[in-house]
Chain A
């Protein structure tokens, strides 16, 4: 198990380094003066010179790549061009809001999607199974930001049940939850379908195993078998998908934040695009990539704990 986890950790680190190098190549492959392009046409000569010096643009390419990598892995993403604050401060201040949004979105989706998947798996090839299948397949590819706009129109503009913008008064938990409801709903819609389908398929696979037949021959009720013996095994693939899906989830959250004008990584990045504040964008990309790698490692670790056979296989 330890070797397995160490290997996954090393692999995650490699993935992080290669993706940073990929970013470097894409940024420096741009024709012309990177400083002028990154900072936009309104940047002053002094700002450009500062940027060049900060990014080490006067050094050989290999050195630039090395220092680029070194700085990023240190959490040094440079300085915000507008406020002159370290980018890392801005990004790490915004990150918890976005992660909260994403986590709440997935939790409500799992709370609805898991029972739906179980229900469908217990009634395979019936009308209810078909209906759950059609609904979950329909929602699976719906973009979260579109759900956000529709939810905003229906529940905030027309019905006026929920606030349309912002994240609520600081310190007022109830107000914050009130503001969180619609964005979290929008993010979770697609995941309800995704989780329901995964749980169904993986429940059906587990239900077909010999040990389940043994429980049945002992007279254990179907529902008890499903919840007590099958679900804990069937939930493993869902965890690994959640690990991989965190990237999608955060991408969805970024757009949803813009729709609801919620402070967070998405709004930070959006403002950075409008003001051509490249270091902030780079910082947001790097931190999110790190989060993805970390989430995948945690998912691997959790799976290894839940199903040690998988860790043995490598």
Chain B
């Protein structure tokens, strides 16, 4: 017994190392991790990475194509597109992290209540989440934006509501499975409270599936944010966001198509990278699955 408890932290550590090795061991996983890391660095160190001030206007050099001075060219006001993309990364990742974070909080709370509460509470919460899922995301977001106005908090609330059912499902199902697991029954019989059960025994088991879901949701959130910003109902200019840039590029699509093409590149890259990261993470956390499918 004592031996086992002493060995446990080391085993957990070894397991984590193995997960990391599996994550970086596949070519797609390694590339995806690198691209995601590059986006994170660009977001954190935007003023250092960006070659120009993202809001510096230069009317003489407006709508220039890619060149040595401006790698991705300039927009309709002569602003450097690469710099605007770098600063837009901040916006995109900020919304992605706060949005999925809020969705995780709401979904997890509901999932825990449904899993640990009674049957009626469970059914009611399942129905509520099914109903949220049935709302058409973009139209629903547009309706809310009309009432509450387009702002960053409104965007986060919309994302939190519409993404919460995913986390609810994972947490609830896992809790229902764990409810009957031997080690939970053992802890219960030793008098552990429900709150203690949830915090010390169930949460650690949820981290893996939740991480995977977050990585899979981030591309979706990036899509929502850029879509709403494209319609002018998300991030408001002059704050740079990939969706805003797309919207401006769309306006000048005949004179200067390079603006829209450049603005779309980070969306393509980041959604693909996060999707692959999620996939590899899922396989790395559950090696059996990777072999089977």
Q: Choose one: A15, A137, A254; the contact of B139 (CB below 8 Å).
A: A254
Q: Is the CB of A273 within 8 A of B142?
A: yes
Q: Is the CB of B131 within 8 A of A18?
A: yes
Q: How far is the CB of A184 from chain B (nearest CB, A)?
A: 18
**Chain B at the A interface: SS class:** helix
A contact residues around B139 at 8 Å (CB): 250-251, 254, 265, 269, 281, 284-285, 288
Q: Is the CB of A285 within 8 A of B246?
A: no
What is the bound-complex CA distance between A30 and B274, given in angstroms?
Answer: 35
Q: Is the CB of A281 within 8 A of B146?
A: yes
Instruction: Determine whether B136 belongs to the interface, using a CB cutoff of 8 Å to chain A.
Output: yes
B contact residues around A137 at 8 Å (CB): 272, 275-276, 279
Q: How far is the CB of A215 from chain B (nearest CB, A)?
A: 22
Within A141-168, the residues touching B (CB, 8 Å) are 141-143, 145-146, 149-150, 152-153, 157-158
Q: Is the CB of B136 within 8 A of A285?
A: yes
A contact residues around B222 at 8 Å (CB): 143
Query: Total A-B pairs in contact (CB under 8 Å)?
Result: 146
Q: Is the CB of A293 within 8 A of B233?
A: no
Q: Is the CB of A270 within 8 A of B231?
A: yes
What is the bound-complex CA distance between A141 and B272, given in angstroms?
Answer: 7
Q: Is the CB of A14 within 8 A of B127?
A: yes
Residue of A at shortest CB range from B260?
A149
Known A-B contacts A19-B135, A38-B147; A143 and B261 likewise in contact (beta carbons under 8 Å)? no
User: How big is chain A's contact interface, by range?
Assistant: 35 or more
Instruction: Determine whether B128 belongs to the interface, using a CB cutoff of 8 Å to chain A.
Output: yes
B contact residues around A293 at 8 Å (CB): 134
Instruction: Determine whether A106 belongs to the interface, using a CB cutoff of 8 Å to chain B.
Output: no
Instruction: Write out, one digit per residue, whether chain A residues 264-305 have a CB within 8 A of any chain B CB (1) or not (0).
Output: 011001101100101001101100110011001000000000
**Chain A at the B interface: SS class:** helix
A contact residues around B185 at 8 Å (CB): none
What is the bound-complex CA distance between A289 and B264, given in angstroms?
Answer: 30
How many residues of chain B get a CB closer than 8 Å to chain A's CBs?
A: 48
A contact residues around B272 at 8 Å (CB): 137-138, 141-142
Known A-B contacts A138-B272, A140-B275, A146-B267; A292 and B136 likewise in contact (beta carbons under 8 Å)? yes
Q: Is the CB of A278 within 8 A of B275?
A: no
Q: Is the CB of B147 within 8 A of A27?
A: yes
Within A59-108, the residues touching B (CB, 8 Å) are none
Known A-B contacts A19-B134, A30-B148, A247-B134; A278 and B271 likewise in contact (beta carbons under 8 Å)? no
Instruction: Write out, one digit per residue, whether chain B residues 220-251 have a CB within 8 A of any chain A CB (1) or not (0).
Output: 10110011001101000000000000100110
Q: What are 30 A-B contacts with C-beta separation under 8 Å?
A: A11-B130, A15-B131, A18-B128, A19-B131, A38-B147, A137-B279, A138-B272, A140-B275, A141-B219, A141-B271, A143-B222, A145-B230, A146-B267, A153-B253, A153-B257, A158-B257, A244-B133, A250-B136, A269-B139, A272-B146, A273-B142, A278-B147, A281-B142, A281-B143, A281-B146, A285-B140, A289-B134, A289-B135, A292-B136, A293-B134
Q: Choose one: A149, A255, A296; the contact of B231 (CB below 8 Å).
A: A255
What is the bound-complex CA distance between A18 and B136, given in angstroms?
Answer: 14
